[in-house]
A and B are shown apart, each in its own frame.
Chain A
């Protein structure tokens, strides 16, 4: 005798619930033990990774910020001393560096 869809569904529900019953009602360890055991090493590693990433980011930001302005000051002041610059837009980096010197 072949099973109907309803009978198959009933057996499946029964199987799932019986299978799930192997899990006890209560967790094997209290939360404080679980969190103490699992978080400490991860926090240590993630802390180091975070510090390293911050250092790299700060270094990159400093390079990106400092490089163009250093170049502009050098070229601008040198060009003015050599008499190569007659007039520039006020917003141009050369004008800004010329103003600075």
Chain B
């Protein structure tokens, strides 16, 4: 009985995942990543939705987890480029207050330059190292270190004020 179940699990894991499997498994982590990068849940869900729709139109990649994360990071960066151009954009209402301290930090992060915010989110939420962030943001490792340093320094000043 137990052997049958182990066989079933192994067979499932060896099968290549379908788009539906990927959607079920990665939707939440990807929306969370987009959320900490954008600060807006509605936009985060839209970005991830578009990423999955694009993925459905092409053959599935060899390493879907890394690929999807990269697609979401790129989509978030593109999204910020677009909204920089759009003037008079109506932003979604702010999310409900979870915890005053968390809310204070999140509100402060929204005021940071987007590259600093993206670098902080990738380092302290996605747990990516400097080299990975540099590849994701398409900039040198030294720039990433500088973005992280300035971001943390600004946050420290804000929290100490």
Assess A11 versus B49: contact at CB under 8 Å? Given A18-B99, A20-B32, A31-B24: no
B159 to chain A, nearest CB (A): 6
Considering the complex, which residues of chain B in the window 14-57 have a beta carbon less than 8 Å from any beta carbon of chain A?
A: 19-20, 23-24, 27-28, 31-33, 35-36, 41, 44, 49, 52-53, 56
CB <8 Å contact, B49 and A38: yes
Q: Once bound together, how far apart are the Cα atoms of A39 and B24, in whole Å?
A: 18
A-side contacts of B124, CB under 8 Å: 9, 12-13, 16
Determine if B131 is an interface residue (Cβ-Cβ < 8 Å).
Answer: no
Task: Please pick, from B33, B106, B152, the residue contacting A9 in the complex, using a CB distance under 8 A.
Answer: B152
- The number of chain A residues with a CB under 8 A from chain B is 29
Task: Please pick, from A5, A14, A26, the residue contacting B28 in the complex, using a CB distance under 8 A.
Answer: A26
B-side contacts of A15, CB under 8 Å: 101-102, 105-106
Mostly helix, strand, loop or mixed at chain B's interface? helix
Contact-residue size bin, chain B (C-beta under 8 Å from the other chain): 20 to 34
Determine if A22 is an interface residue (Cβ-Cβ < 8 Å).
Answer: yes
B-side contacts of A22, CB under 8 Å: 35, 41, 95, 98
Q: Which A residue sits closest to B21, measured CB to CB?
A: A31
B-side contacts of A30, CB under 8 Å: 20
